[in-house]
Amino acid sequence: MQVGDIVQFNNTGYLGIVLGFTNFDGVRIFITDEEFTCQKHVKNPTVMSSGALKVHAKVISCEADTQSTSR
């Protein structure tokens, strides 16, 4: 997983964009789903451990997929 990857959460179907990584094995993710972002108790972007992210979400689009190889 790398910065720019789009992930989809298994249980909810929410989409998120990986923004970066913390020093303590955390991943900063911006969740794009309006239902999620409208909740008052939710902070967006959110942080979760990389292990939890691997268990609860899958990468559906890699940042590398969007880079052009043509010159």
Q: How far apart are the first and last CA of the chain?
A: 26
Single pTM value for the model: 0.79
Domain boundaries, the chain: 6-65
The per-residue pLDDT for 34 is 80
In this predicted model, which residue has the larger pLDDT, 36 or 8? 8
**DSSP notation for 30-52:** EE--HHHHT-TT--SSEEEEHHH
Say if residue 60 is exposed, middle or buried (CB neighbours under 10 Å; 0-12, 13-18, 19+): exposed
Q: For the segment 16-33, what is each residue's pLDDT rounded down to a tens digit?
A: 999 999 988 999 999 988
**Rounded distance, CA 11 to CA 20, Å?**
23
